[in-house]
Structure formats: C-alpha cells, structure tokens
Amino acid sequence: MAITSAQIQIVVAATASESFGVTTQTGQTAKRDTIVFSNGVNATCITAVIDTNITITSNSTTVALSALTDTLDGVFAGTELKAWRLSAPSTNVANVTITSNVSGLWTGTAVPNTTFGMLTGDATGFTVAGTNNITVAGNNNDVLAVTLFVS
C-alpha cells in the first residue's frame, strides 16, 4: 500500500496584551511549519507511518524499531526517519525519561501533557534501522505516544 496522505504541522500562536492607563498594547506571534509528504523515498516522501504507544512496565520498557508495525500492520522496514512526534499524555502519573539510539530523535525527560516533534523535508532524513530502539522509564503503566514518518 502506498501513502495517500500525510503531513506534519507545528503551530505556535500567542497573543499578549498590557494596559497602561487608557492605552492597551497588544502583541501577537503566529508561526506554522507544514510539510506535506507523498509516497516514496525522495524529498518530502515517506513509505510508512508508525503510530504506537509504549507503556512502561517494570519501571522501564525498551522497544526495538523492528518490533513496531506501521498503521497498516506492516513490519518496520524504514531506513530514513523524516518526522517524529513524542507525547507524554496528561493522564501520566509522573515524568517519563526517554533514551534512544535513533539518530535525530529527542531524548530527555517529559512531564505529563508534553509533546515534542521534528520534521524535515530533506531527501535523506536521519538514518534508522530495525535494530535501533527507544527506552521509556518512569512510573509503571505511564505511556509515551510515538509517531514516526519513515521511508
């Protein structure tokens, strides 16, 4: 099966206002980065989307990329990471610590209700292999939501 529609967006928007007597000053910022991906292995192309939750057991869980399936239940076959999203949901009880040997993937501590992401339209992306892994440590039954766009 081919990718028929895929995109990653990062949106930042904020409005601030401050009053000085009868005068109000307002400042705004709005940024949007969007990459639309098509099927394939060239620039802005992917061949699979991995979208999974890693649930912590025994205070730490390690998952090899080869153990993950794509959204159509295909085995992990990517060699290039084009975009990723990591999210520690608000339902988590504690912080989760993320470590990984996946090139380009963020590592560190995520508090509940935190999301990190990266996107690139580069033709080669970051090199990945099925032997790469992601480790999530923290409170048992807490979750890290992982979405990977690969080709």
For 28-47, write each residue's pLDDT tens digit: 999 998 999 999 988 899 99
pLDDT tens digit sequence for 71-110: 989 999 899 999 999 999 999 999 999 999 999 999 999 9
Query: Is 121's pLDDT higher than 90?
Result: no
In this structure, what token pair is assigned to residue 2?
A: 């081919």
Burial letters 1-19, b for 16+ CB under 10 A, else e: eebeebebeeeeeeeeeee
CB 49 within 8 A of CB 99: no
Domain 47-150 has CATH 2.60.120: yes
Q: Tell me the CA distances in angstroms from 71 to 58, 93, 141, 145, one per residue in order.
A: 27, 27, 23, 14
pLDDT tens digit sequence for 58-79: 999 999 999 999 998 999 989 9
% of the chain surpassing 90 pLDDT: 79
pLDDT of 122: 87
Query: In the chain, where are the structural domains located?
Result: 47-150
Query: Is 1's pLDDT higher than 70?
Result: no
Query: Is 14's pLDDT higher than 90?
Result: yes
Average predicted confidence (pLDDT) for the chain: 93
Q: What is the pTM of this model?
A: 0.89
Residues 83 and 58: their CA atoms lie apart, in Å, by: 29
